[in-house]
């Protein structure tokens, strides 16, 4: 039942993805991970592809599915931060980058993203003060 069940969730996720129902596909990918942990790499790749295509909410939902199933680490954090930066979600990106750098202060990618986020936040504060 294990491999058949995993295949079912995989095919269902792909079908939902083709329909651009990414939140639902993410749920099915999460179910897949319960039955087949080796699917992690493909889900990460699919998240990356969605982000590149501009489906940022879908890409983020796939990352959520991974995290909800215990997959974490700097690579997922970096991907999430890139999505937030693309969405100009500076406050959330600042919070996540701060927490991530507290855990791994030597990570160069996180340092670079955090610097960009802080620069953007400073720029927004300057714009608000000038217009206010």
Question: Looking at the structure, do residues 24 and 59 belong to the same domain, yes or no?
Answer: yes
Q: Indicate whether 78 belongs to any domain.
A: no
Residue 14 has pLDDT above 70, yes or no: yes
Q: Does some domain include residue 124?
A: yes
In a domain, 16, yes or no: yes
Please indicate, yes or no, if residue 80 is contained in any of the structural domains.
no
Tell me, yes or no, whether 4 and 54 share the same domain.
Answer: yes
Q: Which domain holds residue 121?
A: 90-132
Q: pLDDT of 20-68, one tens digit each?
A: 999 999 999 999 999 999 999 999 999 999 999 999 999 999 999 999 9
Report the distance separating Cα 89 and Cα 112, nearest Å. 16
- Does residue 99 form part of some domain? yes
Based on the number of CB atoms within 10 Å of its own CB, is 81 exposed (0-12), middle (13-18) or buried (19 or more)?
buried
Provide the domain count of the chain: 2
pLDDT for res 1: 45
55 assigned to some structural domain: yes
Where is 68: in which H helix or E strand?
Answer: helix 56-68
Report the distance separating Cα 8 and Cα 6, nearest Å: 5
3-state SS assignment for residue 51:
helix
Same domain? 100 vs 51: no
Reported as a pLDDT band with limits 50, 70 and 90, residue 125 is: confident
């Amino acid at each position: 039942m294990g491999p058949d069940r995993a295949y079912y969730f995989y095919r269902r996720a792909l079908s939902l993805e083709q329909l651009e129902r990414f939140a639902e596909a993410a749920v099915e990918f999460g179910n897949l991970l319960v039955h087949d942990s080796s699917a992690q790499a493909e889900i990460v790749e699919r998240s990356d592809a969605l982000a590149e295509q501009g489906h940022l909410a879908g890409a983020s939902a796939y990352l959520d599915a991974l995290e909800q199933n215990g997959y974490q680490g700097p690579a997922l954090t970096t991907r999430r931060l890139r999505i937030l930066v693309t969405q100009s979600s500076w406050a959330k990106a600042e919070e996540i980058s701060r927490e991530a750098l507290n855990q791994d202060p030597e990570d160069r990618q996180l340092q670079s993203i955090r610097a960009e986020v802080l620069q953007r936040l400073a720029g927004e504060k300057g714009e608000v003060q000038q217009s206010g």
